[in-house]
Amino acid sequence: MLYLCLITGALYQGSATQAENYRIIKNLHITHVVNATANSPDAFPNILCYLRLPLSDDAQQDLVEALPLASRFIHQALKGVPAGRVLVHCSMGRSRSSALTLAFLMEHRHWSLLHALRWLKERRACTAPNINFLQQLLTYEELLFGSRLTSLDDIRR
């Protein structure tokens, strides 16, 4: 089983199984959840605030709307009064959730994709956005910073 990972002081990344475990949610004081699965229901809709992004982990999935939506949702939750605690999850906690977390780090910490990816992999070794998501994150990086700071070759090294 992949472990739930604390990304920042109040941002976690994990799997659908972990997002459905009330004990985990309660112990971590999670208040907000980004559910990036096509088929896992929001487990605690009466208790938690959800952003539902029914994404597929494949070469056809377009993230153009999902990246800024997730980034805004996470930012608003973390900066709320009182501050929230966010869990970003997909089925396994590797590809879709990583792409969304990376978009947040790029936008709100002003990090290049390469820096964000390396930083995230240090905290969650199983981080593995699919190649389609990486290409879209490269485009998102260009949108955020006005130029591409990372190349696909940089990422593959």
Question: Residue 3's pLDDT band (boundaries 50, 70, 90)?
Answer: low
Q: What is the mean pLDDT of residues 24-37?
A: 96
Q: What is the mean pLDDT of residues 81-95?
A: 95
Query: Domain segments of the chain: what residues?
Result: 5-156
Please work out, in degrees rounded to the nearest 5, the angle formed at the alpha carbon of residue 113 by the alpha carbons of 42 and 132: 60
- Percent of the chain whose pLDDT exceeds 70: 95
Q: What is the mean pLDDT of residues 33-62?
A: 97
8-17, 29-38, 53-62, range with the lowest pLDDT: 8-17
Q: What is the mean pLDDT of residues 1-28?
A: 83
Q: What pLDDT was estimated at residue 156?
A: 79
Over 60: is that where the pLDDT of 103 sits? yes
CATH class of 5-156: alpha beta
Residue 11: beta bridge partners? 8, 86
- Residue 91 token pair: 């089925």
Dist CA 98 CA 62 (whole Å): 15
Which residues, including other chains, have CB under 8 Å from residue 50's CB and lie 6 or more apart? Answer: 32, 33, 34, 35, 42
- Is residue 90 part of the annotated active site? The answer reads yes
Residue in 5, 49, 90, 126 annotated catalytic = 90
Over 50: is that where the pLDDT of 2 sits? no
72-85 confidence digits (pLDDT tens): 999 999 999 899 99
Q: What pLDDT was estimated at residue 1?
A: 35
| DSSP label of 2 | P
Q: What is the mean pLDDT of residues 148-157?
A: 89
